Each structure stands twice: as structure tokens, then as C-alpha cells.
Structure 1
Amino acid sequence: MVKQRELKEHLYGLETILLKGEVRKSEKILNELLAEDFVEYSSTGEIYDKENILKRLPSEDDPGIIMSNFEIKYLSPTSVLTTFKVFIERKQQHSLRSSVWTYNDEKWHMTFHQGTVTD
């Protein structure tokens, strides 16, 4: 198993990639990182699956997201929970985020994501 510090750095990198405007516009990259059974509970209370995300995100403007307080917790040898805070510059809004990443086919895929507005 990968050491926790190395895995934390790797998953931090994947989460950071998903926050970048140019990546959010790339259906190809999103398709590679999101699991087929991906589900998101958005900060607005909407529920999205992978198909919704692949249609919605590429058409959105770059929200300018800054991440902080990134942590991981093993749920199993092949599943990890990531938690962090974000500040969305465009909305001037803070939120808490959590994701579940699953290791499959020698890659990590996001299977779940949730955002909760804090202000």
C-alpha cells in the first residue's frame, strides 16, 4: 500500500486538478477522473451523476476556487475520504467539501463528492 503522505499528496493533486477551470471544461479529463457510478450532492442541494457533470461543468465559467485544510482518511485499503475547505472567488463563498476516491484499474477515481456552504 502507498504511504499515507504520498497518497495524500496524490489525492490533493487530483482534487486540485478538478478545481481548475480549464480541467472542468475538459470532458475527457473529467471522464477519466470520475467513476462510472459517480454521485455528487451539490452545495445547492442538487444531486448529479457522472452524465450530468460531463454535460454541466464544461459549460460553466471558471469559478476561481481556492482549496485549504486538505485531509484524508482511509475507509478501506482501496477507498479514501478527502475533506477540505474551499473559497469560491466568483461567489465570495466558503464551503466544506468531501470526496470518496476508490482505487480501481490501477487508478484513483472519484466516486462521491459533496459540498456544503458555510456562509
Structure 2
Amino acid sequence: MQFSEIERRELIALEEAMWRPETRFAPEFQQRHFAADFFEFGRSGRVYGRSDVIRFDDQPIAAKLPLLNLEIRRLDTDTAQITYDSEVTYDGIVERAHRSSIWSRTAHGWIMRFHQGTPF
């Protein structure tokens, strides 16, 4: 069973919001959308917990949007996996990664539980 078009649009907007400085570094957005047990395997190979990724120092993010090769699959009724390829420019160098995020629907909306970036 696929997600509805409304659910798909909401999930895509949330994933892309993680790449937009105006939302990514907004305290309310971060508190609301990172699960209490969130963790990430970063593109660098480091492991990050929720407290590592919640940051309020607005930094430029030069990510290509819309996200490339984005796919959403339903893992169960209230769980989605989003995969895509990112292109982010740092100091004039484009870094690419395969990305995967796990989102869970709660009574208060969608929260990200896990994220991974693998360079390619």
C-alpha cells in the first residue's frame, strides 16, 4: 500500500526542510521533528545522536533542491523510508551522498528516527 499524495508531499517537504537553513536550524522545527532516540550515520562515517544534530547556529546549506532520485516506501502503517541522492557544495566542492531517512508518524506529526549518508 502506497502513501497518499498528501502524505508523500508532506514527507518530501519535511525531508527537504532538513536542507533549508530557515527550517533546519529553527529550534521548534528541530525539537518537533527529531525523535528522542534519533541517531545518524553521517556521510563522514561518524555517529551522531539527537543532541549532536540539534543546532541553532544558522549556517549556509548549499544543497541542490529538489532532492535527486527521491523515493518513499512504506515500511508499515506509520513508518516511511525516504531515499535520495544529495548534492551539497562546501567551499566550491560538490559532495554527493546516497541518503536514507526513517520517519515515524506520531499523534503530533512525523518525526525522523534515523538518517544515514553514504558518499559516492
Q: TM-score, normalised by structure 2?
A: 0.87
Query: Which segment drifts farther, 89-98 or 57-66?
Result: 57-66
Q: Cα distance 1:96–1:60, how it changes in 2: closer, same or farther (>3 A)?
A: farther
Once the two structures are TM-superposed, the CA of residue 63 in structure 1 deviates from its matched residue by 2.6
Matches within 5 A, 1:4-23: 4-23=4-23
RMSD of the TM alignment (CA)? 1.8
Query: Which segment drifts farther, 17-26 or 91-100?
Result: 17-26
AA of the residue aligned to 2:71 = E
Which protein is richer in helix relative to its size? 1
Once the two structures are TM-superposed, the CA of residue 60 in structure 1 deviates from its matched residue by 6.2
- Aligned identity (percent) is 24
Corresponding residue number in structure 1 for 2:68: 68
Once the two structures are TM-superposed, the CA of residue 10 in structure 1 deviates from its matched residue by 1.1
Instruction: Return 5+ residue gaps in structure 2 as ranges.
Output: none
Matches within 5 A, 1:1-119: 3-54=3-54, 57-59=55-57, 61-66=59-64, 67-90=67-90, 91-118=93-120
Count of matched residue pairs: 116
Instruction: Return 5+ residue gaps in structure 1 as ranges.
Output: none
- Alpha-carbon separation, structure 1, partners of 2:2 and 2:71: 16
- Alpha-carbon separation, structure 2, partners of 1:42 and 1:60: 19
Secondary structure at the counterpart of residue 60 of structure 2: coil
